[in-house]
Structure 1
Amino acid sequence: MYRAKTTIEQWRILQAVVDFGGYAHAANKLNKSQSSLNHAVAKLQDQLGVKLLEVKGRKAFLTEAGEVMLRRSRHLTQNVQDLEELAGNINQDWEPEITVAVDLAYPKKLLYPVLNAFYPESRGSRLRIIETVLTGTEEAITQGWADLAISPIMPKGFLGEPIAECSLYPVCHPEHELASLEGPIDPNELQQHLQLVIKDTSRTPSEKQGWLKSEQRWTVSTFETAVDLLLENIGFCWLPDFIVEHLIESKALHRLPIKGSSFRPLICYVVKPKPDSCGPGTNLLYQTLIKQSPFNTQFIEK
């Protein structure tokens, strides 16, 4: 039977030294002495026979071998954390708090009946519903800070159940210059006009979703603010059908026919970022979301 030369604590210390930019800062964060961290990393390198870090000035830098080993070690320590959380959840009581990340693209009118059904069974659990957008929703899943996430984005390595669908429409005021154009609008024409975009809730947003080619863009935090600006004949915006359909029908807003993409369909999924760590309350809410979703109803009817 193989016997490990190294310990999980040694790998965690190495990760901290790299993540916090050196031994001094890592020691402060871990509440340990700097000498103990130096000793742990030195022993780790001796046990492996591989140099992992090089100290230049006051900062520690990874060697090429260190970069590979560090990347693999993060999977190791995360697996250990997940395993320990699973052990804690096997016989756990009902969790005191459940955090749900809900992307703004998900129709909230579908959420409220779910919460109404969940509440009598919630056993007093506090529910934190945090609205997210784009990369912010993705991070709720990949970083695991939410117990559940409702997302139109499915990060690599995760699974989810479809619970809703919607479409994004490009819209503007009926008196906007774009509304007067006939036939499908060339996307190049859009680039000359102000585009309203919804702020990504990630701490490190990544503009890799949607059409963002306008030379001038204004960023707002909510769909409601975007609609208010559109009603003042300011810019154009891609917005969900459940937000703008009634405004299009009443002719308060105009739906733009764009060449190659007059709408963008979205499927929203409910995802367990850390499925093995879910408590009974989280699992119940997850099942309730699936049970009451339009997708489940369509499946039953068929």
Structure 2
Amino acid sequence: MPLTLDALTILDAIERKGSFARAAEELARAPSSLTYAVQHIEAGLDVLLFDRSGHRARFTPAGRVLLEEGRALLAAANALVHKTRQVAGGWETSFTIAVEGILPVALLLPLLDAFYQLDQATEVKLRHEVLAGGWDALAAGRADLVIAGGDAPAGGGIRTRALGRIEFVFCVAPQHPLARAKKPLSQTDIAAHRAVVIADTARNLPLRSAGWLQQQPRLTVADLPSKLAAQQAGLGVGSLPRWLADREVAAGRLAACEWAGGNPHETLHLAWRSGEAGRALEWWTRALSQPGVLAEVLDAD
């Protein structure tokens, strides 16, 4: 006979309650009907699930395997029911947020905790994208919502909301020659020194460059922690977001240099595809737009 979820539910109840009688009580069934149901399962599988030689029936090794594996199936079935109800209620089954690589994902964790309090089954995926990579991920459907710097790609189909500006500070290792400069640094001063840059993660859009000059030698790394480590080791120079630069300079691990013309800034945008709808998108768009969420990394007003 085909194994049913009802059969697995019966076995689960018997094991948890410790007896057929207590399991029958929990399932609101007569003990005799439960006994018959178990015998029917054993006959259909041609397997003995219980050892009845003692005072109390106990699971055989085969019965124990069916019980444990069956619980996984019961959990999957319950999750499927829950997810189906969530989708019917307007929740996405999965939702991907791409965060600009210069931002700490930790900023989103309190929001993620609040989101999970809604008791819904949307699978949230957080990922870092760099430079044009966030826009690329959004346009290609690899992300549903992005926090990205710069401007949206031409062609429309994307809605944006400005979140604020982020300032960049030019930093070098304390022992680096530029750390001893007595004047604001010009492009000529910087050009002779290796730049540490994070690779743009865009796959289809034109790659962007940021914080380095075309004539500079450069070391390309994959992420912000790698860039920070390389600059601390004196392997190159470059700009870091102020939230990170201030911390490292205060600790003596880096030295800040003054730019001729002042520190550069970039506007961060929250962006999503036009025409998209869903309760997760609505919730996250509203939550990330709240003042203060990114306050510790953005320029003060």
- Normalising TM by the smaller chain, what interval? 0.5 to 0.7
* Cα separation, 2, equivalents of 1:240 and 1:294: 17
Could you tell me which residue of structure 2 aligns to residue 166 of structure 1?
A: 166
Letter in 2 for 1:264: P
* Cα separation, 1, equivalents of 2:91 and 2:126: 18
* Cα separation, 2, equivalents of 1:266 and 1:109: 21
TM-score, normalised on structure 2? 0.62
How many corresponding residue pairs?
Answer: 206
Letter in 1 for 2:187: P
1:264-298: per-residue Cα shift (whole Å, max 9, x none)? Answer: 2222221112x3222112211211111354589xx
For residue 98 of structure 2, the aligned residue among 98, 101, 104 is: 101
Shift of 1:206: 3.5
* Cα separation, 1, equivalents of 2:241 and 2:139: 25
Structure 1 residues 206-221: aligned runs within 5 Å: 206-213=206-213, 214-221=215-222
Change (3 A) 1:111 1:226: same
Could you tell me which residue of structure 2 aligns to residue 251 of structure 1?
A: 252
The question of whether the paired residues in 2 share the 8 Å contact of 1:163 and 1:290 is answered with: yes
Structure 1 residues 1-302: aligned runs within 5 Å: 93-121=90-118, 123-155=120-152, 156=154, 157=156, 158-204=158-204, 206-213=206-213, 214-261=215-262, 263-273=263-273, 275-291=274-290, 293-294=292-293
1:38-73: per-residue Cα shift (whole Å, max 9, x none)? Answer: xxxxxxxxxxxxxxxxxxxxxxxxxxxxxxxxxxxx
The question of whether the paired residues in 2 share the 8 Å contact of 1:163 and 1:293 is answered with: no
The question of whether the paired residues in 1 share the 8 Å contact of 2:137 and 2:202 is answered with: no
SS at match of 2:212: coil
The question of whether the paired residues in 2 share the 8 Å contact of 1:106 and 1:151 is answered with: no
SS at match of 2:275: helix
Shift of 1:165: 3.5
SS at match of 2:91: coil
Letter in 2 for 1:180: R
The question of whether the paired residues in 2 share the 8 Å contact of 1:165 and 1:268 is answered with: yes
Change (3 A) 1:106 1:161: farther
* Cα separation, 1, equivalents of 2:118 and 2:281: 11
SS at match of 1:190: helix
The question of whether the paired residues in 2 share the 8 Å contact of 1:106 and 1:150 is answered with: no
Structure 1, unaligned runs of 5 or more = 1-89, 297-301
* Cα separation, 1, equivalents of 2:146 and 2:253: 33
The question of whether the paired residues in 2 share the 8 Å contact of 1:184 and 1:257 is answered with: yes
1:136-171: per-residue Cα shift (whole Å, max 9, x none)? Answer: 112123333311111112314333223353211110
* Cα separation, 2, equivalents of 1:187 and 1:177: 15
Shift of 1:229: 1.5
TM-score, normalised on structure 1? 0.62
* Cα separation, 2, equivalents of 1:122 and 1:172: 47
1:173-231: per-residue Cα shift (whole Å, max 9, x none)? Answer: 11101111111112112110010000111125634442432431000011111111122
* Cα separation, 2, equivalents of 1:137 and 1:259: 30
The question of whether the paired residues in 2 share the 8 Å contact of 1:163 and 1:294 is answered with: no
The question of whether the paired residues in 1 share the 8 Å contact of 2:200 and 2:208 is answered with: no
Aligned-residue Cα RMSD (Å) equals 2.5
Shift of 1:122: 5.5
User: When you count helix as a share of all residues, which structure comes out higher?
Assistant: 1
* Cα separation, 1, equivalents of 2:234 and 2:271: 38
